[in-house]
Homo-oligomer: A and B are copies of this chain.
């Protein structure tokens, strides 16, 4: 392949990727190339396995133009959800299809970065025949996406000022993307079916930590600092307790799963009646179940938590004027127990002309969403940054 051909192929792949599928006529118009030239290069890309042909979804009659799309199986990536208790890993392709998944308990005795390396080494060793071309990591704590550094985590040791992207890239020699766990969940939520329009939304992640991913104009919002969507640290009360971030009254101190469990335990210790009294190791699942069954304490703590989330969602709606707010993370499992108060407070505290236009719903992602989102983020970054075209072979070892 000579140099000019390589540039044309690269641009063609980028156009096809960017537009989520393109017909040969569309490529011709967008790239100012004659149709025979387009036909020649697209055939080469099909032969090389980069793109596949499928029927167009609509047609104005006559022979249907064939839509060319990136072959989702052309590359695979490792996606990792670095939680506070466990590490989830998936191996997935560009369509998010998972070919391998595993969950590993985090051992307190070993630095978490070393555990990460060992797990990735095990998986890359096991799948030598698959073209694993990138690694995506969604981490708990504060992460700077632009520098690829973990800043710190309020929940676990070993993540203070760590150049995570550089460490993993150096160890494994492949492109690595590192982002906040909320943002990789949002990225997974943003991946629609083929040729569907990508609508704007804000993804509110309610879990052991709280954050959000803001998806606008087909991409995640990234502040120029590299850290954004930190709604868990919006002050929601003047009388709140101190948060791990150093401030007081943060949303996380009321509405993270950890804070909900803490509040219920504290109330029980103070003698408040609760169906969970006397139970050892009360979990968020126990509290959601108790609230569903009408336990007053569980219900009141859950409702107050959701109301604080609603306050922040009202702010988000006033600021973004967005038609879709998606609630995800562990707390979405509480369903209307959380969605109800959130919707009520948004109605009360945001502009009516916005509240009437927005839909607040639960995410349909499962627990693998973070790991898949991290893998997809890395795979898509490979294409968007042009890194993919530097890869000589797109096939694994024979």
Residues of A participating in the B interface, judged by any CB pair closer than 8 Å: 31-33, 142, 151, 199-200, 212, 214, 216, 221-231, 233-235, 245-247, 311, 314-316, 318-323, 348-354, 357-358
Contact = CB atoms under 8 A, between A and B. Distances in A.
Contacts of A226: 321
Going nearest first, the 4 A-B pairs with the smallest beta carbon separation are: A223-B321, A228-B321, A225-B321, A230-B318
Nearest to A11: B32
A227 B319 contact: no
A321 B227 contact: yes
B246 A224 contact: no
A229 B351 CA distance: 11
Given A221-B216, A314-B235, A142 B353 contact: yes
B230 A348 contact: no
A387 to B, nearest CB: 20
A251 to B, nearest CB: 10
Interface centre among A235, A245, A318 (most CB of B within 10 A): A318
B224 A321 contact: yes
Contacts of A349: 235, 247
Given A225-B322, A230-B354, A247-B349, 15 more contacts: A31-B32, A142-B351, A223-B320, A225-B321, A225-B323, A228-B321, A229-B319, A230-B321, A230-B351, A231-B318, A233-B318, A233-B350, A234-B318, A245-B352, A247-B348
A224 B245 contact: no
A316 B214 CA distance: 13
Contacts of A245: 351-352
A358 B233 contact: no
A292 B319 CA distance: 32
Contacts of A351: 142, 227, 230, 233, 245, 247
B322 A354 contact: no
Given A233-B350, A246-B352, A352-B246, A200 B223 contact: yes
Given A32-B31, A32-B32, A234-B318, A354 B224 contact: no
A224 B319 CA distance: 12
B225 A358 contact: yes
A57 to B, nearest CB: 23
Nearest to A245: B351
21 contacts: A31-B32, A32-B32, A200-B224, A212-B319, A214-B319, A223-B320, A223-B323, A225-B321, A225-B322, A225-B354, A228-B322, A229-B319, A230-B318, A230-B319, A230-B321, A230-B354, A233-B350, A234-B314, A247-B350, A315-B315, A319-B319
A40 to B, nearest CB: 16
Contact of A354 (B216, B227, B321): B227
Contacts of A314: 234-235
Contacts of A199: 224
B246 A322 contact: no
Contacts of A352: 245-246
